[in-house]
Amino acid sequence: MKKFLLGLAIFLAFAIALYGWSYVLFASMAENSGTMSHHLADRPIAMYLHVIFGPLALLIGGFQFYPGWRSKHPAYHRWAGRTYVSSMLLSGFGASVMAITTNAGPVAAAGFGGLAIASIFTTVRGYLLARAGKYQQHRRWMIRSYVLAFAAVTLRLHIPMFLIVFGMEFAAAYVIIAWSCWVPNLLYGEWYVRKYAAIPK
């Protein structure tokens, strides 16, 4: 069951990564997006950092947790991990700039800004623990990091849910989604590491 859920997560991550990169490959998508068009016009560097490296981290991260992968391919795990960390930091920086300047209002800005800060913090914490040789604690923090990266997926799942199922207007829904896309993820990640990773903090 765990392998199935991880496989499903990787599949969704792949789909959303391709969607994110489409903003780079097809500029018209960003130009016609109500949430991206003003970033493209006013702060393209921040936007491209986020939409290029965020999907890369999302795609790489899932494979890092696949059972047996780390022990069978340690060199790949290390280099993929370094790429993941670099991508998360670049994406997080871009996201923080976009959060501060969003046109969705201060509540949404706080939500997306919190996500950016939490993503950077958990990723740096996990990296430093690996450098210190504290690999079990490193794994805990990278789980926290990845569930935050997975907010890219939950955001896209929440949009149709709020618009179609709950019948909300996009502007109102987006403010809620700025928080709902990542806070439940982080709570789930915290529950998971406490239940299945019984190791010292």
pLDDT digits (tens, 9 = 90+) for 121-135: 999 999 999 999 999
pLDDT in tens, 155-177: 999 999 999 999 999 999 999 99
Backbone angles phi, psi at 166, to 5 degrees: -90, -10
The arithmetic mean of pLDDT across residues 23-38, rounded, is 66
pLDDT of residue 31 exceeding 80, the answer is: no
Q: What is the pLDDT of residue 29?
A: 61
CA 130, 136, 139, 141: dihedral to nearest 10 degrees? -80
Arithmetic mean of pLDDT over the chain: 88
Q: Where are the domains of the chain?
A: 2-196
The arithmetic mean of pLDDT across residues 27-31, rounded, is 60
Burial of 39 (0-12, 13-18, 19+ CB in 10 A): buried
Answer yes or no: pTM beyond 0.85. Answer: yes
The arithmetic mean of pLDDT across residues 17-23, rounded, is 82
Backbone angles phi, psi at 110, to 5 degrees: -65, -40
Considering the segment(s) 2-196 as one domain, its CATH architecture is Up-down Bundle (1.20)
Q: Which helix (H) or strand (E) holds 69?
A: helix 69-72
pLDDT in tens, 68-99: 777 787 888 899 999 999 999 999 999 999 99
